[in-house]
Chain A
Amino acid sequence: MFEILRKSLATGIVTTDYPLVPVEMSSQARGRPEIDFANWRDARPAAAACPTGALACEDGGGTRAVKLDLGKCTFCGLCAEADPAIRMTNVRELATRHKADLVTTATYELSPSRAQEKLLDPQPSNVKPQLPSLDAIGAELKARANEVLGRSLHIREVDAGSCNGCELEIVGLNSPVYDVERFGIHFVASPRHADMLLVTGPVTRNMEMALRKTYDATPAPRLVVAVGACGCSGGIFGQNYASLGGVDKVIPVDVYIPGCPPNPYALLHGILLAVGRLRL
């Protein structure tokens, strides 16, 4: 007993000060890819190297449309290996409220040799979020719900078919290093006790009904956070006979957290974003 206390005292406080103090990431860590759009000549090799189709291009009528979808990206960095115009940064806190915010598009005019000659949009940027389908009253209700929930939040984690990589990192939120309880956030055992579902994917055919039932058992107001490339979009599994794709194919999603898997900082960022404690 005294030995245990002594060890705890000797260990001291190991908890991070995030989000008050920004994250210090290893320079090797791979996060959001950065593309030098202005000097990009050919997106095709990088798109061919991408295992999930996060980087895709389509030619038509002398132009090429290039799309980078962070919701599909596993941050493997193969595109950056194939193409010097792409560089992997170590930025991993990438959660957004709207799926469209995860997508960057650029259109190029093509030369006869199919090289990208001229960038047509002056500044490739995130696609602007479409107006939320919720009407004004709904949105206001939601904001108030966030206000109420923001002080203390109970989360039910649902694995709707993941590879368990996301679970491994979510478990880390309960470690003394990230200690999610310091925000008044608790993981609970039943959806009936939960304000938020933290859902990993892809949603498999065999988990679809369990996910729906869990959602229905969660009292309103409730939030849904889709975790990881698979939760956001189906990831490398995409849609197939056994996989329906991302979580929003089955239940409405409030926040998307990219990553494969997202690290605990990225998860915290997304959860805090969902309850309105962070502003974009």
Chain B
Amino acid sequence: MNILPTLQPILADLTARFDARIAAVVAPRPNEVYFQARMELVPGFCAQLYKKWNGRLVSLFADDARAQDGAFHLYYVFALDAAHGFFILRVPVSAAQPQFTSLTNALPAVNWQEREIQDMFGLKLEGHPNPRRCALHDDWPEVYPLRKDFDLHTVLPPFTGERHKFREVEGEGVFQVPVGPVHAGIIEPGHFLFSVAGEPVLYLQIRLFYTHKGTEKLFENMPVTHGVRLAESISGDSSFAHATAFCHAVERLADAEAPPRGRALRTVCLELERIYNHIADIGAMATDVAFVVANAHALRLKERVLRLNDQLTGNRLLRGMAALGGVRSDWDAAQIEAIRRFIVELRPEFDSLVGMIRESSSTRDRFETTGVLKPETARDLGVVGIAGRASGIDRDLRRDFPHAAYDGLSFTVPVYREGDVLRRMQVRIDEVQAALAIIQQVIATLPGGLTRVAVPTLPANQVALGYVEGWRGEIFHWIRTDEAGRLARCKIKDPSLQNWPALSEAILGNIIPDFPVVNKSFNLSYSGTDR
């Protein structure tokens, strides 16, 4: 079996420890190892990877394999960041007795993912502290949309708006403040229920999945090439990152690798996406504490990036650029010169914006110690991306699992421990500066040759994990092909799904007027969560 040398000791430890209880081990790729076992092994396997090898469960999902194997499959995807590999545990769930054991009490990070499996596949959760519906709202009939016998075009009875039974917080002077799903700003829909005593927030309940669009099911019903375009619409602000994660999964499955120039262009696009979103967030956070001049400058700079995107890829959100086997179009000398000029011009402008915010003591006062997410809480909830790095979680797939052209680049990953709004802004500031340096490095050593290779027809009955560090955090796309090489499953994991519960923790004890800025400092995607 061809696996990374860094993974060997971990594999040896697991096989020594669990031996006969592991039915099979296969490694379709050196950094992607699959284990087959029974449900009983899950807690022990998980504990061993967490405690001994500093692993973490980055994705948990189900797959309807009743047609081939007579059972559902659960996949537990563990990232071993220090060893640069993924261990994936597959366990069967009997079709006759569709239930599985919850890990949430030991591992709160999987809370929503477990409930989503229960909703979408009808696998009943055993031992979950809060097994209520999550992905499907309360008025949904008993349907399991991701089962194979459920048709994509099923017409369901219209929404009746049955109100979710939120938890009650009682006490003298305790009020409930419901917000949404239609919000006051130009943002996505979701429902927040604050329980407050005076100004401070005692408890925040978040109800999402208003924008659930059947995306994962849709992937199973379209050709792979169209899937790239659908991936661009999972979360609009991460169009390129999601589409690239999907392409990465398909390329790994077909054993095709994007050529060096294609990988370099991907890197530039990923960093441009990071830059425009970070700048927009920095401005929006300033607005939320009434420093609107800073936002005006930020919006002006963001517009500059969007126009460069348009010039480079034909679309302001970089849509249409991602392609299986690389990127869709090459850049000519004029376009590369435009990138060079952009970096030279943006850098002083951005530094000036940062200086303006930094010198405003009243702004700093609102950011500092606001919305604190403690490192221990962040670790328990498996928080990723910007929010994780602001709370001491030193993880970045660009460094630990180099994709695109990141393996040949030098950059530092900013990490802070305070976990407040100020640090989440600081991570963004550092990352914009790093991104500009990354683009500069890529452009200076841009390899020649093709931007794209042909991806062969997909082999039948294979699985693959694709991954990208998007601007918000890590994105995973896991795919499986059926006996004809078509997509039989596409599991999308957006960092937002992982991070939403952390917002409920970070807001505790803060005042409601600070919620907008705390929320914006996370800036999670509703659509990426709801799909």
Contacts and interface: CB of A to CB of B under 8 A. Distances in A.
B255 interface: no
Interface in B84-132: none
A240 B527 contact: no
A177 B213 contact: no
Interface stretch (B53-61, B156-164, B244-252, B430-438): B156-164
B447 interface: no
A58 to B, nearest CB: 19
A236 B299 contact: no
B interface residue count range (under 10 / 10 to 19 / 20 to 34 / 35 or more) = 35 or more
A204 B210 contact: yes
B156 A241 contact: yes
Contact of B236 (A8, A26, A168, A214): A168
A158 B182 contact: yes
A206 B214 contact: no
A209 interface: yes
Contacts of A7: 297, 352, 356
A3 interface: yes
Contact of A240 (B218, B300, B311, B319): B218
B137 to A, nearest CB: 6
B229 A207 contact: no
Contact of A30 (B155, B212, B315): B315
Interface stretch (A37-45, A159-167, A268-276): A159-167
B458 interface: no
Interface stretch (B68-76, B186-194, B411-419): B186-194
Given A159-B187, A189-B185, A206-B210, A28 B527 contact: no
Nearest to A189: B184
Interface in B132-175: 137, 143, 145, 150-156, 158-161
Interface string B288-302: 000001001101101
Contacts of A210: 181-182, 189, 210
B214 A174 contact: no
Interface string A175-186: 111000000000
B300 A206 contact: no
Given A157-B186, A204-B211, A241-B145, A164 B526 contact: yes
A243 B531 CA distance: 11
A170 B186 contact: yes
A162 B236 contact: yes
Given A75-B315, A164-B527, A8 B214 contact: no
A257 B253 CA distance: 38
B217 A167 contact: no
B510 to A, nearest CB: 21
Interface in B225-249: 225-226, 229-230, 233-237, 239
Contact of A261 (B137, B293, B297, B317): B317
Interface in A68-122: 74-78, 88
B208 to A, nearest CB: 10
20 contacts: A4-B293, A7-B297, A14-B300, A28-B310, A30-B320, A78-B320, A158-B182, A159-B189, A163-B234, A168-B317, A169-B316, A175-B303, A177-B299, A205-B159, A206-B209, A206-B210, A207-B211, A236-B226, A237-B233, A241-B217
Interface of A: 3-4, 7-8, 11, 14, 25-26, 28-30, 49, 51-52, 74-78, 88, 157-172, 174-177, 187, 189-191, 202, 204-210, 214, 230, 235-237, 239-243, 260-261, 263
Given A52-B229, A164-B527, 13 more contacts: A3-B356, A8-B293, A29-B310, A49-B225, A76-B229, A78-B225, A163-B233, A177-B299, A204-B212, A237-B215, A241-B151, A260-B315, A260-B319
Closest 8 CB pairs of A and B: A165-B236, A175-B299, A189-B184, A242-B214, A51-B226, A30-B314, A51-B229, A163-B236
